[in-house]
Amino acid sequence: MIANNVEVVDVTDPADPRLDDFRDLNSVDRRPDLPSGKGLVIAEGVLVVQRMLASRFVPRALLGTDRRLTELGTDLAGLDAPFYRASAEVMADVVGFHLNRGVLASASRAPELTVPHVLDGARTVAVLEGVNDHENLGSVFRNAAGLGVDGVIFGSGCADPLYRRAVRVSMGHALLVPFAKAANWPGDLELLRDQGFRLLAMTPDPTVQTLAQAMSGLAEQRVAILVGAEGPGLKEHTMRASDVRVRIPMSRGTDSLNVATAAALAFYERDRLGR
Amino acid sequence: MIANNVEVVDVTDPADPRLDDFRDLNSVDRRPDLPSGKGLVIAEGVLVVQRMLASRFVPRALLGTDRRLTELGTDLAGLDAPFYRASAEVMADVVGFHLNRGVLASASRAPELTVPHVLDGARTVAVLEGVNDHENLGSVFRNAAGLGVDGVIFGSGCADPLYRRAVRVSMGHALLVPFAKAANWPGDLELLRDQGFRLLAMTPDPTVQTLAQAMSGLAEQRVAILVGAEGPGLKEHTMRASDVRVRIPMSRGTDSLNVATAAALAFYERDRLGR
């Protein structure tokens, strides 16, 4: 059953300007942060569109097949935007490639949150530095959502979590897990410390404490998990601004894990017994 | 310093037939398991080529720039295959795209290992069912290598771990971590049980034991961690053939994690205190 408030508009002409939010997604939206991009947030697929509908990002328009419209059904009850209904072929012409997820939603960027806003009420946050790959960033958000992390703080050198691919890989959690960019880096780590957060900096250094050692006894404390880019890791001045350096016990002869996987292990250790 | 046994052959013609192992990698090698593919194992980049050199996959040929030849240096000491030295442009012409890793190696497939061979001496193995995505499969191998898993057993429906992209994402660990395909599935799980392995089946079912509960007390036992595809998970008859069902404690309102991430958490729980 489709919510009866939904304005369904059938579109058969791929050139229809009402579909411009979704046009040439691969090229126009390549750098949404630049003037050539539209800065729009794009959700792909039923699950991610549902999460956008539940988020602070308010849809401007939806484009999808009749089948996906039916699947979304009453999830569209609160929607105040048109649903452009089109065939898969028309959709492919508009976006520039075949889109097997069958539905898209566009939203303007919501106002950015501040670090204090993200910290408010949070028990665990992730702090990222130099995570400049959109897929890794999306994975971090998916892992954060699944493993009890309440917010994400960006230090320097991170990619845009609202980029289309990051949103997709996050399964839409980049729209739901609150995040903020540090205004001063790494100076803003003091804001976390002032709020009682214990700052754990992840490193491959085999001489420091393991995650299990460092997390024990912190159940009643607020914790921030600092993760750097794969390869270089956290910068030394960021390490120095943390409270404790922690490592994952690794097999001999192996190097680091993927950054999102390493973060997931720390998130897991934080809450492995559940709550 | 380059090992003095290495046969370095300069090549300037992209059509040189001696480079055929590396030709049109994207198209010819798309399905290496089919007759249209060559069935070759391809290593990309210095690190992965180094791991191939340390593996049971014996290089037939290498193709790379002078810079990468120098970087590999004495790692090539045992090499009994030519190193075709070419410019980045010639390499791009041969492989069909720009290859920023600068070096490739090809190897024939080594004879397949058997399940008993992989179990021999192993303390922990991963058992995969329906993991048909090459990147996920590669990530599982990378995580297995980093987190103390000694081998991988494939049930039904898994992708080819020797496909180029799987090898690349695994950081070459698909060439080093021993793996075997079950001849009978899920019947071969009995082989594991006969060898004293405790079979832990991962599931999103919120009513079963957590990883932490299930793993406690197993330090002295052999353990097999069974992981199914993202979405459907393990098949019911595979679940029934296991000893215990285990879950990751997840935040409310979230669905599953990526399959390689879920596997990493189980691998981590197995050895979180290190050894």
For residue A223, what pLDDT band results from cuts at 50, 70 and 90? very high
Q: Is A249 at the interface with chain B, CB within 8 A?
A: yes
pLDDT, tens digit, 9 for 90 and up, residues A158-198: 999 999 999 999 999 999 999 999 999 999 999 999 999 99
Q: What is the pLDDT of residues A237-256, one digit of tens each?
A: 999 999 999 999 998 777 77
Closest CB from B142, B173, B272 relative to A212: B272
Which tens digit of pLDDT belongs to each residue from B128-167? Answer: 999 999 999 999 999 999 999 999 999 999 999 999 999 9
Q: How far is B9 from chain A (nearest CA, A)?
A: 32
Q: What is the strand order of the sheet B197-202 is part of?
A: B179-181, B151-154, B124-129, B222-228, B197-202, B244-247, B209-210
Percent of chain B with pLDDT over 70: 93
Q: Which chain B residues have a beta carbon less than 8 Å from that of A147?
A: 248, 250-251, 257
Cβ within 8 Å of B, A 194-233: 210-212
Question: Does A270 contact B at CB distance below 8 Å?
Answer: no
Separation of alpha carbons B193 and A11, rounded Å:
59
- Chain A nearest C-alpha distance from B97 (Å): 19
Residues of chain A with CATH 3.40.1280.10: 115-270
Question: Which of 3.40.1670.10, 3.40.640.10, 3.30.1330.30, 3.90.420.10 is the CATH number of B8-107?
Answer: 3.30.1330.30
For residue A225, what are the β-bridge partners? Answer: A126, A200
Q: Looking at residue B90, what is its pLDDT?
A: 96
Residue A145 in tokens: 């959502």
**Looking at the predicted structure, is the pLDDT value of residue A35 above 50?**
no
Average model confidence (pLDDT) for chain B? 92
Task: Give the residue from chain A lying closest to B274, CA to CA.
Answer: A249
Q: Considering only the beta carbons, identify the residue of A210, A254, A261 that sits closest to B145.
A: A254
Which residue type occupies A99? L
Predicted confidence at residue B38, as pLDDT, reads 61
Q: A210 vs chain B: nearest CA distance in angstroms?
A: 8
* Separation of CA A82 from chain center: 25
> Between these two residues, B28 and A59, which has the higher pLDDT value?
A59
Q: Which of A248, A268, A271, A273 to mutate to test the interface with B (most CBs of B within 10 A)?
A: A268
> Would you call A261 an interface residue with chain B, using a CB distance cutoff of 8 Å?
yes
Q: What is the pLDDT of residue B144?
A: 97
Query: Which pLDDT does position A85 carry in this prediction?
Result: 97
Which residue among A148, A210, A250 places its CB closest to the CB of B251? A148
- Confidence label for B101 from pLDDT (cuts 50, 70 and 90): confident
Q: What is the distance between the alpha carbons of residues B223 and B218, in angstroms, rounded to a whole number?
A: 8
- For the record, the structure tokens of A43 come out as 């959700």
The CA–CA distances, whole Å, from B267 to A213, A243, B83, B260 equal 18, 27, 38, 10
Q: Does B142 lie at the interface with A, CB-CB under 8 angstroms?
A: yes
Distance, in Å, from the CA atom of B248 to the CA atom of A138, rounded to the nearest integer, reads: 20
Domain with CATH 3.30.1330.30 in chain A: 8-107
* Spatial contact of B145 and B172, defined as CB atoms under 8 Å apart: no
At B256-265, the pLDDT tens digits run 799 999 999 9
pLDDT at B124 over 50: yes
Looking at the predicted complex, does its ipTM rise above 0.85? Answer: yes
Phi, psi torsion values for B157, nearest 5 degrees: 75, 20
Q: Among A126-140, A234-248, A251-265, B172-186, which is the least confidently predicted range?
A: A251-265
Q: Would you call B31 an interface residue with chain A, using a CB distance cutoff of 8 Å? A: no
- Compute the distance between CA of residue B218 and CA of residue B214 in angstroms, rounded to an integer: 8
Q: Which of A258, A265, A271 sits opposite B139 (nearest CB)?
A: A258
Residue among B129, B108, B99 at smallest CA distance from B263: B129
Burial class (CB in 10 A: 0-12, 13-18, 19+), B14: middle
Contact A147 B255 (CB under 8 A): no
Residue B83: how many other CB atoms lie within 10 Å: 22
For chain A, state the CA radius of gyration.
21
Nearest CB partner across the interface for B265, out of A142, A251, A264: A264
| Separation in Å, CA of A212 to nearest CA in chain B | 7
Whether omega before B186 lies within 30 degrees of 0, making that bond cis, reads: yes
User: What pLDDT does B35 receive?
Assistant: 46
Confidence check: pLDDT of A265 > 90: yes
Per-residue pLDDT tens digits for B202-225: 999 999 999 999 999 899 999 999
Dihedral angle computed from the Cα positions of residues B47, B53, B55 and B57, in that order, rounded to the nearest 10 degrees: 120
> B49: buried, middle or exposed (CB in 10 Å: 19+, 13-18, 0-12)?
buried
Most distant CA atoms of chain A, gap in Å: 63
Instruction: Indicate the class that CATH gives domain A115-270.
Output: alpha beta
Question: Quick one: pLDDT at residue B27?
Answer: 73
Does the beta carbon of A54 lie under 8 angstroms from any beta carbon of chain B? no
Could you tell me how many CB contacts below 8 A there are between chain A and chain B?
A: 88
Percent of chain A with pLDDT over 70: 94
Angle value at C-alpha B264, between B207 and B140, nearest 5 degrees: 120
Over range A260-265, report the average pLDDT: 97
Per-residue pLDDT, B100: 78
Q: B272–A211: do the CB atoms touch at under 8 Å?
A: yes
Residues in chain B with CB shorter than 8 Å from the CB of A248 are 146-147, 268
